[in-house]
Chains A and B, each alone.
Chain A
Amino acid sequence: GNSVTQMEGPVTLSEEAFLTINCTYTATGYPSLFWYVQYPGEGLQLLLKATKADDKGSNKGFEATYRKETTSFHLEKGSVQVSDSAVYFCALIQGAQKLVFGQGTRLTINP
């Protein structure tokens, strides 16, 4: 079945550092890919999405490119802020309305 694997957390960085959170997926065909972010005490917020190969999703300085050849959708940001501290989830959806999530990566940014 479909699955998503994220890099193990937690990840701790200093403000203005470069961020990469790795995400790879297993699926037949061409799923749509998403990054969601969860702040403490809140639900998930859609951060960005890509629906076909080579698409680049971007939002709030975050980017991720749908790489079919490596089945990856890594999240990157050039300069992180303290306010980016949260848990990040990579997810896919294919056909049926059923998001399949990775295990989540907790990110802490220190000032």
Chain B
Amino acid sequence: KAGVTQTPRYLIKTRGQQVTLSCSPISGHRSVSWYQQTPGQGLQFLFEYFSETQRNKGNFPGRFSGRQFSNSRSEMNVSTLELGDSALYLCASSLVGGADQPQHFGDGTRLSIL
């Protein structure tokens, strides 16, 4: 069974640009969550999608947005990039999303802002 697939693995952008990251969950998983990992702040929750609807949201500015498609694939968009957006962005999926269901992570997209 294929795991969670994130593309691209690496991305370099400049300040002010926008970027779109993609996540394909494990087949049959309908909940997709996004996390930002930085050395200073650690792992922080961005948002979670289920059945094409954003179900939960973390404390990030509106420049961070996402969506989920009918096949459960998800995209995350960051507009007007800032230097502080440099991070590893991780996507995780689970069946329907419940407290007892573990989330399975992809290898992440490493975003560098110049």
- A positions within 8 Å CB-CB of B: 31-32, 34, 36, 41-46, 49, 51, 89, 93-104
Q: Which residues of B contact A32 (CB under 8 A)?
A: 99-100
Whether B33 pairs with A98 at a CB distance below 8 angstroms is yes
* A-contacting 9-mer, from B64-72, B73-81, B103-111: B103-111
Q: What secondary structure prevails in chain A residues at the interface with B?
A: strand
Instruction: Output the least CB separation between A99 and chain B (Å).
Output: 6
Interface size on B, residues (CB 8 A): 27
CA distance A51 to B106 in the complex (A): 23
Whether B42 pairs with A97 at a CB distance below 8 angstroms is no
Whether A104 pairs with B42 at a CB distance below 8 angstroms is yes
With an 8 A cutoff between CB atoms, is B22 at the interface?
A: no
Whether A43 pairs with B56 at a CB distance below 8 angstroms is no
Which listed residue (A46, A49, A97) contacts B31, Cβ 8 A?
A97
Name the residue on A nearest B56 (C-beta).
Answer: A96
With an 8 A cutoff between CB atoms, is B58 at the interface?
A: yes
Name the residue on B nearest A101 (C-beta).
Answer: B43
Whether A98 pairs with B45 at a CB distance below 8 angstroms is yes
**19 A-B pairs with C-beta separation under 8 A:** A32-B99, A42-B107, A42-B108, A43-B4, A44-B90, A44-B92, A44-B105, A51-B100, A93-B99, A95-B99, A96-B55, A97-B48, A97-B50, A97-B56, A97-B97, A98-B33, A98-B58, A99-B43, A101-B42
With an 8 A cutoff between CB atoms, is B28 at the interface?
A: no
Q: Which residues of B contact A104 (CB under 8 A)?
A: 42-43
Whether A45 pairs with B105 at a CB distance below 8 angstroms is yes
Name the residue on A nearest B110 (C-beta).
Answer: A41
CA distance A34 to B43 in the complex (A): 14
Q: Which residues of B contact A102 (CB under 8 A)?
A: 42
CA distance A96 to B31 in the complex (A): 11
Name the residue on A nearest B90 (C-beta).
Answer: A43
Name the residue on B nearest A98 (C-beta).
Answer: B45
